[in-house]
Structure 1
Amino acid sequence: MTIDPSSIPNFGGQPEPQPEGPAGPVVPDQDLVKQLLDQMELKYVVDEEGDLAAPWEEFRTYFMFRGDQPEQMVYSVRTFYDRPHPIEDKAQLLESIDDWNRRTLWPKVYTHTHDDGTVRLIGEAQMLIGAGVNIEFFVSSTVSWVRAAIEFDKWLVEQLGLEQDVNDADEPGEGDA
């Protein structure tokens, strides 16, 4: 099974190859996602649990296949945002992500409170794939979900004024000469 590269948005500004993809529905697998990530020129790793992950500076996006029965197989793209937020900011975070979830289709974002009291965000989109899916639909959904995960991080930085925090962290403070 191969991906029709003409169905992949051009991330790098380079011309896209034009081979033909499979006809009819396919049941996507990790190798297909690896091929797609290669064509998108995104780096990825396979973690110790066997899940495929694409790391960015402030988050990691996982491409997972779950399901006990073939017809119940689910493809999940889950993004773990690494920026820790203090528990005192959880109400503001919930208000912001509720706004995001109302305005957008994906990723749906939720909070996770760690034992140390920090709050982190997780975004997720899913597709039932057990009966097979159209390859173009699979590719365009995956690409859209990756783009949306990136856009959410940018949006949250703007919403919460985190760009100032990022800029402050980059600038040397008094006595840091």
Structure 2
Amino acid sequence: MSIDPSAIPNFGGPNPQPQPQQGPPPVVVPDAELVKQLLNQMELKHGVDGEGDVVAPWEEFQVYFMFRGEQKELFAVRAFYNHAHDLGAKPELLEALDEWNRETLWPKVYTATQDDGVLRVVGEAQMIVGMGVNINYFAAMVVNWVQASVTFNQWISERLGLVKEVDGDGADGDQPGDDDGNSTES
């Protein structure tokens, strides 16, 4: 299965030349192999976890690509952000998350309280894919959701004052696919 390169936004590399297409793009039922192919084309490091979900690690968060349901008809992209928040900070955190959710389409973000009482932030976007989806639409959504996950991380870090100083003059900007040691395949 080939993916139209023009459907995948460029993150700064050379622009691939679009290939002329005969008729509409194919409708496919996406799976983990297609997600891995897209991540490879985007040059993002990724691996597979114990449940078979594809995961792309960054230094401050991980993005999971999951297929759920009896027929794997639900495709979900979830970003799990590493920064831990105390329960006492929940009102400020919820205010920030509500602001993000009002002003953006995705990812929708929420808090998850762990057993030890620590709050973490999760971002999520979903689509039904069981009946098939246009390959270019699917590729565009994966790319957009990954970029939105990166954008949210930058936004929440700035909004809550979590930005790390690098040499005393700026923010620590993660690059797509920065490895945190969790990658099991490239």
Q: TM-score range by the shorter chain?
A: 0.7 to 0.9
Instruction: Check the 8 A contact 1:3/1:32 in 2, yes or no.
Output: no
Task: Please list every run of 5 or more consecutive structure 2 residues that lacks an aligned counterpart in the other structure.
Answer: 169-186
Aligned-residue offset at 1:20: 6.7
Normalised TM-score (structure 2): 0.83
The size of the alignment, in residue pairs, is 166
Aligned-residue offset at 1:49: 1.2
- The one-letter code sitting in structure 1 at the alignment partner of 2:13 is G
Distance 1:79 1:18 in 2: 30
- The one-letter code sitting in structure 2 at the alignment partner of 1:13 is G
Decide whether aligned partners of structure 1 residues 46 and 16 sit closer, same or farther in structure 2, where only a CA change above 3 A counts.
same
Q: 1:167 aligns with which of 151, 158, 165?
A: 165
Decide whether aligned partners of structure 1 residues 106 and 134 sit closer, same or farther in structure 2, where only a CA change above 3 A counts.
same
SS at match of 2:27: coil
Task: Please list every run of 5 or more consecutive structure 1 residues that lacks an aligned counterpart in the other structure.
Answer: 172-177
SS at match of 1:167: coil
1:59-115 Cα offsets, whole Å, 9 max, x none, are 000011111146xx0110000001101111011111100110011110000101112
Partner of 2:154 in structure 1?
154
Decide whether aligned partners of structure 1 residues 126 and 10 sit closer, same or farther in structure 2, where only a CA change above 3 A counts.
same
Partner of 1:79 in structure 2?
79
Q: How does 1:53-72 map to 2 (within 5 A)?
A: 53-69=55-71
Distance 1:44 1:17 in 2: 25
Q: Does the alignment pair 1:45 with 2:43?
A: no
Structure whose CA Rg is larger? 1
1:102-158 Cα offsets, whole Å, 9 max, x none, are 111100001011121210000000010011111111111110000000000100011
- The one-letter code sitting in structure 1 at the alignment partner of 2:165 is N
SS at match of 1:162: coil
Decide whether aligned partners of structure 1 residues 69 and 36 sit closer, same or farther in structure 2, where only a CA change above 3 A counts.
closer
Distance 2:132 2:91 in 1: 40
Q: How does 1:114-129 map to 2 (within 5 A)?
A: 114-129=114-129
Q: Percent identity?
A: 56
CA RMSD of aligned residues (A): 1.9
Instruction: Check the 8 A contact 2:25/2:136 in 1, yes or no.
Output: no
